[in-house]
Amino acid sequence: MKLRLSILALIAIITFNSAQAQEISDTSFGKGMINFVAKDSSFSVKFAPRFQVRSVSFWKHDGNQYGSPEHNFILRRARLKFSGFAYSPKLKYKIELGLSSRDISGANDYNRNTPRYILDAVIMWDFAENWELWAGQTKLPGNVERVVSSANLQLIDRSQLNSRFNIDRDLGIQIRHKTNLGDNFLMREKVSISQGEGRNVSEGNEGGLQYTARLEFLPLGTFKSKGDYSQSDLKREEKPKLMLGFTYNYNEDAVRERGVSGDYMIRTDGSLYETDQTTIFADAMFKYNGFSFMGEYAQRTANDEIATEIDGTTPTGDVVLTGNAINLQAGYLFKSNYEIAARFTTVEYENVTGELPTEQYTLGVNKFIVGHKLKVQSDISYTTLDGNENNITFRLGFDIHF
């Protein structure tokens, strides 16, 4: 509550000062509400709020027919982002705070039962040519769909592959490097060592550390405006662009059902069950002249999926979510800034999880008013469970990012 009041007070001060000064900023919509650089160039601050609102209609299949629809409206995300540099342009930072219920949920004994306001709090030091050191809490270099900001998605939300197997955010350090392999061929290497229990953990480290390595190949050169990490071909690439990525993640003595997320696997004596978990990703991003394609493969394995009591034989009821998934997504952006997009996702689980395989087919229509900064999106999904009809979901929403 104190943090929320502090945030509201900060916004009020910024608004009051802006009103008092009656200054006309040289920024524009989508470039940040405030862009401030100190007179001596010793630091800068960019402030950019954003939020997403949507409605969801859901039809459940009962084995014979679809029932009456359920409807709800949600504020999916509401966030405040601060970024800039400190002391030197080579030392950048990013802070992102979440305010919606979905952003801050997840209070537990391992974060002192407090809302999880902080999404990112990271510094990025360009300490040598083509080398960067990151430190703090931020996204790990995992599957491309997860690293793409929720502000820059082609469909209303990410796929089931991502929700089941992504490695999300964590606290630690990352080393990033890029290598030119030819005139247009770029390779990027990313290595991370992190705590292994996810974001906003205050009572760690309960298990072991988490190790992540990612290689990215761009054989046709770089994308415009970092388009390899933004869905939809809004820049209408004049030449084909391709990124191929491969990630290996090893979470030693993981204590949560999905590595850095999911429930903690707690025994009756209060101790935590630990097991090594490995997650691998292979993905691709392709764009050309309004057409975009993204493909992903994910797999999670564990040494011992079934959590047991201290005797090593009695199950606790917790199970590591192991399995694999494929996600394929494509879209075409018309010159009118309307886009059609489609996605197919299939998820299979190991038998010990007790989860049934799912398939999901999604069709979406978007209208970009100011790119991803102001857009209206809609999509409809048909989902099967173990080969049987399960549900139909229709979503409609808008994004606004200052």
Place of tokens 């290996």: 248
Q: Is 62 left (phi over 0), alpha (psi -120 to 50) or beta?
A: alpha
Strands (E), 219-357: 241-254, 256-258, 261-264, 275-288, 291-302, 306-308, 315-319, 323-333, 338-349
Task: Give CA–CA dist 83/147, Å, rounded.
Answer: 17
- Neighbouring residues of 258: CB distance < 8 A, sequence distance ≥ 6: 164, 165, 300, 320, 321
Count CB neighbours of 7 within 10 A.
14
CATH superfamily of 43-401: Porin (2.40.160.10)
Q: Report strand pairing: 131-139 vs 118-128.
A: antiparallel
Indicate the length of the chain as a whole number. Answer: 402
Domain coordinates of the chain in residue numbers? 43-401
- Sign of the CA dihedral with 216 first, then 220, 226, and 228 last: negative
In angstroms, the CA 307 to CA 86 distance is 45
Question: What's the CA gap between 321 and 165, in Å, rounded?
Answer: 8
* 3-state helix/strand/coil string of 95-117: EEEECCHHHHCCCCHHHCCCCCC
Instruction: State in Å, rounded, how far the first CA of the chain is from the last one.
Output: 25
* pLDDT tens by residue, the chain, 402 residues: 555 555 555 554 554 454 444 456 677 888 888 899 999 999 999 999 999 999 999 999 998 999 999 999 999 999 999 999 999 999 999 999 999 999 999 999 999 999 999 999 999 999 999 999 999 999 999 999 999 999 999 999 999 999 999 999 999 999 999 999 988 999 999 999 999 999 999 987 899 999 999 999 999 999 999 999 999 999 999 999 999 999 999 999 999 999 999 999 999 999 999 999 999 999 999 999 999 999 999 999 999 999 999 999 999 999 999 999 999 999 999 999 999 999 999 999 999 999 999 999 999 999 999 999 999 999 999 999 999 999 999 999 999 999
Judged by DSSP in three states, 255 sits in coil
Pairing of strands 388-401, 44-60: antiparallel
Strand, coil or helix: 167: coil
Is-above-0.95 flag for pTM?
Answer: no
